């Protein structure tokens, strides 16, 4: 099976090179890997001690950040290496301040895995949430390097738990310890005879709690909001925006609206702006403007959505009307903001929990969205109650980082 896997991987590596001529994202995927080994050789010396974290994309990096920060504090003489599989993660966080080296993870071939780990020679490795690359994991096992899965989550429909899952199960056998998010994940691993498992919870809660300790002020949002009730629409997709724009165009009142779309391509931003009948301004056009005179702002940049959520009286989080996946609802939740989402959230435990608790409202059509916004805008007590549920939920679920760190430190010292 490993032979077949390596053969398919070799074929896939050639296919993506061809696809790179037609797709800018795949081109980044291919070109970004060309200089990885040279970068590592330049920045990692043989005498360096290293700790390696791997994240599939941006969400996993943010999820693992609390652990990375604590490990960096506990091991100040080690170099922190972060790898990404996806361009959407690497391109946004390639200049992060926490890691000493940030690179793409080379494709999971035997030769790449051996060369990569020879250069790095990490003392310990953390895979965040998922991504199980057999050749890398086998090489780590051969070298007896401590390997952990953090914020792991397992479901019955994954290949590990199918009749044909033997090959994938072998990848799991290389981990020294699993830190999982919930009881179901632990139970599923127990069924495969893995007992090196601990329920730590989700490190994203620690991540969003730490946001409250930072300066989240934005002068231009302060000016735009102008002490007016504001709905922040985060990480929206066109399917979300169709409903939201319809509501905004028919809305009569002083409420302000801030869009921070998932995709900020110029043509899509302009299309969104043109569809809105209210007075609208782009973030990129804000200079020398009286922002308080506008009712809608579209943020055509990245990296500031979390701070913008701190100004929200109501948050709509995108992705729930499509198939791409619901975006992060914990960021607005930590600020004590009531949240509205679309109908597709069944794969997101935090969304299921907050819907059940009443802090988050799922809507399935235009009428439900209209009625929900109207209710929250007209009833301040309702907003406060749902927002309080959200912030309490976040606070009650923090602490995963401490569980992981205590275990790792105990193993390191003993």
Percentage with pLDDT > 70 across the chain: 100
Question: How confident is residue 63, by pLDDT bands cut at 50, 70 and 90?
Answer: very high
* pTM for this prediction: 0.86
Average pLDDT over residues 34-63: 95
pLDDT of 322: 86
Of 122, 173, 180, whose CA–CA distance to 150 is shortest?
A: 180
Distance CA 325, CA 190 (A): 28
pLDDT per residue over 152-211, tens digit each? 999 998 888 888 888 889 999 999 999 999 999 999 999 999 999 999 999 999 999 999
- Whether the CB-CB separation of 389 and 357 falls below 8 Å is answered with yes
CA distances 330 to 65, 334, 335, Å, are 15, 6, 9
Estimate the share of the chain in helix, then strand, then coil, as percent rounded to the nearest 5: 50, 15, 35
pLDDT reading at 324 higher than 80 = no
Catalytic residue list: 60
Query: How are beta strands 314-317 and 296-298 bridged, if at all?
Result: unpaired
pLDDT per residue over 212-255, tens digit each? 999 999 999 999 999 999 999 999 999 999 999 999 999 999 99
pLDDT reading at 336 higher than 90 = yes
Q: How many CB atoms lie within 10 A of CB 110?
A: 15
- Whether the CB-CB separation of 277 and 252 falls below 8 Å is answered with no
pLDDT per residue over 267-288, tens digit each? 999 999 999 999 999 999 999 9
Distance CA 150, CA 402 (A): 12
Of 413, 410, 409, whose CA–CA distance to 71 is shortest?
A: 409
- Whether the CB-CB separation of 242 and 282 falls below 8 Å is answered with no
pLDDT reading at 21 higher than 80 = yes
pLDDT of 414: 64
pLDDT of 162: 87
pLDDT reading at 112 higher than 70 = yes
């Amino acid at each position: 099976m490993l032979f077949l896997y390596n053969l398919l991987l070799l074929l896939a590596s050639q296919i993506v090179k061809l696809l790179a001529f037609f797709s800018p994202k795949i081109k980044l995927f291919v070109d970004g890997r060309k200089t990885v080994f040279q970068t590592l050789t330049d920045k990692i010396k043989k005498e360096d001690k290293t700790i390696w974290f791997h994240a599939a994309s941006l969400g996993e990096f943010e999820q693992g950040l609390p652990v990375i920060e604590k490990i960096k504090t506990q091991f100040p003489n080690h170099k922190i290496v972060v790898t990404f599989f996806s361009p959407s993660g690497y391109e946004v966080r390639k200049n992060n301040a926490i890691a000493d080296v940030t690179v793409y993870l080379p494709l999971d071939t035997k030769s790449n895995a051996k060369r990569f780990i020879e250069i790095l020679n990490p003392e310990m490795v953390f895979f965040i949430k998922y991504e199980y690359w057999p050749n890398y994991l086998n090489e780590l096992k051969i070298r007896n390097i401590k390997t952990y899965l953090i914020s792991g989550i397992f479901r019955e429909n994954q290949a590990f738990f199918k009749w044909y899952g033997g090959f994938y199960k072998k990848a799991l056998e290389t981990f020294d310890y699993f830190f999982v998010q919930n009881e179901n994940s632990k139970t599923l691993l127990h069924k495969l005879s893995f007992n090196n498992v601990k329920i730590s919870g989700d490190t994203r809660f620690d991540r969003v709690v730490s946001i409250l300790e930072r300066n989240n002020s934005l002068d231009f949002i302060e000016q735009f909001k102008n002490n007016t009730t504001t709905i922040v629409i985060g990480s929206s997709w066109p399917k979300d925006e169709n409903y939201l724009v319809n509501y905004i165009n028919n809305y009569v009142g002083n409420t302000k609206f801030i869009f921070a779309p998932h995709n900020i391509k110029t043509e899509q931003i302009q299309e969104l702006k043109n569809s809105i009948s209210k007075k609208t301004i782009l973030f990129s056009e804000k200079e020398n403007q009286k922002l308080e005179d506008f009712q809608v702002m579209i943020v055509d940049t990245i990296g500031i959505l979390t701070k913008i959520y701190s100004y929200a009286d109501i948050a709509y989080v995108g992705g729930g009307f499509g198939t791409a996946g619901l975006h992060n609802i914990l960021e607005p939740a930590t600020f004590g903001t009531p949240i509205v989402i679309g109908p597709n959230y069944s794969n997101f435990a935090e969304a299921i929990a907050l819907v059940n608790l009443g802090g988050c409202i799922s809507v399935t059509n235009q009428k439900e969205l209209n009625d929900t916004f109207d209710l929250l805008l007209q009833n301040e007590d309702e907003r406060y109650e749902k927002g309080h549920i959200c912030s309490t939920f976040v606070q009650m679920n923090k602490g995963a980082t401490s569980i992981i760190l205590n275990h790792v430190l105990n193993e390191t010292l003993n």
